[in-house]
Structure 1
Amino acid sequence: MKKKTLLGMSLAFTLLCSPLQQPIAAKTTGEFRQMDNVAHRGASGYTPENTIAAFDKAVEMKADYIEIDVQRSKDGKLVIIHDTTVDRTTDGTGRVKDLTYEQLSALDAGSFKGEQFKGEKIPTFEEVLDRYRGKIGILIELKSPELYPGIEESIAQQLKKRNLDRPQNEKIIIQSFNFESMKKMDALLPKVPIGVLTSSKSHTTEQALKDFSAYADYFNPSYGIVTKDLVNDVHSLGMKISSWTVRSQEAADFLFSMDVDAIITDYPDYVDPRN
Structure 2
Amino acid sequence: MRAADHAYLSDLTPLALAHRGGSLLPANVGLENTRAAFARAVALGYRYLETDVHATRDGQVVAFHDTVLDRVTDARGAVADLTWDEVCVARVGGTEPVPLLGDLLEAFPTTRFNIDVKADAALEPTVAVLREHDALDRVCLGSFSPRRIRALRRALGPRVATAAGQVGTAALRFSPALLARMLHTPAPVLQIPAVHHVAGRSLVLVTPGLVRRAHDLGKQVHVWFHDGRREDAAEFHRLLDLGVDGLVADRIDVLADVLAQRGSPLLPQAGGLL
Counterpart of 1:68 in 2: which secondary structure? strand
Question: Which residue type is aligned with residue 42 of structure 1?
Answer: G
**Alignment match of 2:125 (pick from 135, 154, 160):** 154
1:2-17 alignment, distance < 5 Å: 5=5
Task: Tell me by how many angstroms 1:202 deviates.
Answer: 4.2
- Match for residue 163 of structure 2 among 188, 191, 195: 195
Judge conservation of contact 2:149–2:165 (CA < 8 Å) in 1.
Answer: no
Cα distance in 2, alignment partners of residues 261 and 178 from structure 1:
23
2:252 corresponds in structure 1 to 268
Query: Any runs of at least 4 consecutive aligned residues in structure 1 with deviations exceeding 6 A, and if so which?
Result: none
Structure 2 counterpart of 1:29: none
- Which structure has more relative contact order (CA 8 Å, sep 6+)? It is 2
Distance (whole Å) between structure 1 residues aligned to residue 154 and residue 161 of structure 2: 11
Other-structure match for 1:131: 107
1:220 aligned counterpart, secondary structure: strand
Q: Quick one: which of 31, 45, 65 aligns to 2:48?
A: 65
Distance 1:188 1:201 in 2: 22
- For the residue of structure 1 that corresponds to 2:128, the secondary structure is helix
Q: What is aligned with 1:180?
A: 147
Corresponding residue pairs, total:
234
* 1:100-249 matched pairs, under 5 angstroms: 100-111=83-94, 119-134=95-110, 136-143=111-118, 145-146=119-120, 148=121, 151-165=122-136, 167=137, 171-190=138-157, 191-196=159-164, 198=166, 202=170, 204-206=173-175, 211-214=183-186, 216-224=187-195, 225-245=205-225, 247-249=231-233
Q: Secondary structure of 2:91's partner?
A: coil
Residue aligned with 1:213, SS: coil
Question: Which amino acid counterpart does residue 266 of structure 1 have in structure 2?
Answer: D
Point out the structure with the larger helix share.
Answer: 1
Structure 2 CA distance for aligned equivalents of residues 250 and 87 of structure 1? 34
2:17 maps to amino acid: V
Q: Could you state the TM-score of these two structures normalised by the residue count of structure 1?
A: 0.77
Whether the aligned pair in 1 keeps the contact of 2:16 and 2:46 (CA below 8 Å) is: yes
Q: For the residues of structure 1 that align with 2:16 and 2:164, how far apart are their CA atoms?
A: 18
Deviation at 1:53, TM superposition (A): 0.9
Q: Structure 2 counterpart of 1:139, which letter?
A: N
Percent of matched pairs sharing the same residue: 26
Note if contact 1:177-1:196 (Cα within 8 Å) is conserved in structure 2.
Answer: no
| Partner SS state of residue 32, structure 2 | coil
Alpha-carbon spacing, 1:220–1:201, altered in 2? closer, same or farther (3 Å): closer
In structure 1, list runs of 5 or more residues that go unmatched: 8-31, 112-118
The change in CA–CA distance for 1:253 and 1:274 in structure 2 (over 3 A counts) is: same
Amino acid at match of 1:91: D
Measured in 1, the distance between the counterparts of 2:182 and 2:193 equals 19
